[in-house]
Amino acid sequence: MKKEEREKFLREKLETMLTYERALWDKGISHVAGVDEVGRGPLAGPVCAACVVLPHDFDIIGVDDSKKLSEKRRSGLYTRIIEQALAYGIGLVGNERIDEKNILEATKEAMLTAIADAQEMLVARMGDEAGIGHLLIDAVKLPEAGISGTAVVKGDEKCVSVAAASIIAKVTRDRIMTEFDSIYPGYGFASNKGYGTEAHYVGLKALGITPIHRLTFLKKL
């Protein structure tokens, strides 16, 4: 695919992925937030959620489900999304809390923190009358947020604001796990990000469990 053809394809995809947001904007809901999480499956580290409020003239092409993007591409998009977003928030819930509750409840807790942080930033930037009017959440219902919302299955593929949130969450968590790799060497955290790869299991058998491991995920060891 030539450069011009690829750019046209990505422009058309962006327009398609703005369908949910535009429908809400047309109803007079000015501030629509996308919410997604990363890190439900790993054996170690936190679950990370992000909430992103994009402007109506958002024009960054290439935003997609973070899992479909290379690390370099995600990193570049992360910077541009942060620059263009009206507001964003990040929520982290660690392994001990995950073990105490369960991964679904911990994920919701992370999402609520991310939403609250984005709401605070939006009000600070836009004025006291501003506020998130609707949430587009990847496959999770979250009435606890106190904001109307829509759970969109595969939202990170269908909604640009959810995809943007997935990128923010993914880059944030990956950086955290890379830092953990220097603190707890031997598990391959920089490359596997805490997921159950062969190198990770080799490290567990040789070195044992670290303070960032999810004990409820390691019952078979």
Domains contained in the chain, CATH given: 3-171 (3.30.420.10)
pLDDT grade for 209, boundaries at 50, 70 and 90: very high
Number of other residues whose CB lies within 10 A of the CB of residue 95: 23
Which residues of the chain form beta strands (DSSP E)?
32-38, 47-53, 87-93, 134-138, 149-152
Tell me, yes or no, if the pTM score tops 0.85. yes
Tokens at 109, concatenated: 């807790």
Helix locations, 85-197, DSSP H: 95-100, 103-126, 155-158, 160-183, 189-192
pLDDT grade for 2, boundaries at 50, 70 and 90: confident
pLDDT in tens, 25-67: 999 999 999 999 999 999 999 999 999 999 999 999 999 999 9
Per DSSP, 49 falls in state E
Mean pLDDT of the 209-216 span: 98
| pLDDT in the model for residue 190 | 98
End-to-end Cα spacing for the chain: 47
Per DSSP, 185 falls in state T
Largest separation between any pair of C-alpha atoms in the chain:
58
Which burial class, exposed, middle or buried, applies to 208 when counting CB atoms under 10 A from its CB (0-12, 13-18, 19+)? exposed
